Amino acid sequence: MFIIDKASNTHMNHRIPTPKIMFFDIDDTLSRNGIIAEHNKATLEQLADTDIKLVIATGRSKAIIPDDILSLLENDVLDAIICMNGQYSFNKDGLISHYPLSDKQADKIVHLCKQSELIYKFDSATNIAWSNENERIREYNAKTPTSIVDPEYYRSNPIYQCSVFFNSQEDKMQDVDFAQYNLKLVHWHNTGADILPVEASKARGIKDLCQYYAVDVKECMAFGDGLNDLEMFDLVGYAVAMGDSQPALIKRADYVTGTIEEHGIQAMLERLSVAVQS
């Protein structure tokens, strides 16, 4: 198991304060291939019996959050969900915060994507809408009712982010100066990324949730693995990177644990004064 504790010289004897809120990324942190690991599900259910609030922080659209994660919210295991990279946050009672793209931002994103000849999608609270389709998208849409092909969808629906898909690892819109449009490109895969307003991030969603629950951000812990977790790691009091995280995220983490298969979350929780079975 790959474990590095940057905050301690005593390593496994070091204890950290129990956080008031734990934030979890979904893909490759709690879940693999869209399915939550059974040991992670069991751990969340055990944590739900403590005073720690449990919140998802994902780049996924609300429309495609896995059913197994949504069921944890419905069954009061999870307290809330931050999705679309902090652009939309909600709990069982409804919306907590949201930041729709402006018409100007959406139009500019469409222009940039068309200029680069890329298939893209816009995310709303109810659908993901593709600009075009190919065989892979047709297969995905056939099993995903909330995924549609509608290049004009953004004109009549509140949207929160755009995702772009590249033909190769080298084709990454490197020639686009997103900053001049008050936008940014955030990679979540070597052939895909999200286009967002510069101020959008999981960190903004965390600030909203902390204000909602009257908790200081420094009293929180976050688990993640990808580049869209960087701002979240910089914000919270204690940041935990999974063992197969992006190298840039590992550099920003307070603690590097094992992978999902190595029960990495459970290894971290053993450091806390919280009884959780591995």
Domain ranges of the chain: 4-99+201-269, 103-197
The pLDDT tens digits for 21-52 are: 999 999 999 999 999 999 999 999 999 999 99
- What dotted CATH number matches 4-99+201-269? 3.40.50.1000
pLDDT score at 192 = 82
Q: Per-residue pLDDT for 1 more than 50?
A: no
The pLDDT tens digits for 171-217 are: 678 889 999 999 999 887 777 889 999 999 999 999 999 999 999 99
- What dotted CATH number matches 103-197? 3.30.1240.10
| Structure token pair of residue 177 | 């100066």
Rounded to whole angstroms, how far apart are CA atoms 105 and 98? 16
Rounded to whole angstroms, how far apart are CA atoms 248 and 20? 26
pLDDT score at 11 = 41
CB-CB contact of 266 with 3 (8 Å): no
Give 172 or 1, the one with higher predicted confidence.
172
pLDDT score at 194 = 94
- Residue 27 DSSP one-character state: B
pTM over 0.85: yes
4-99+201-269 and 103-197 in the same fold: no
pLDDT average, residue stretch 251-258: 96
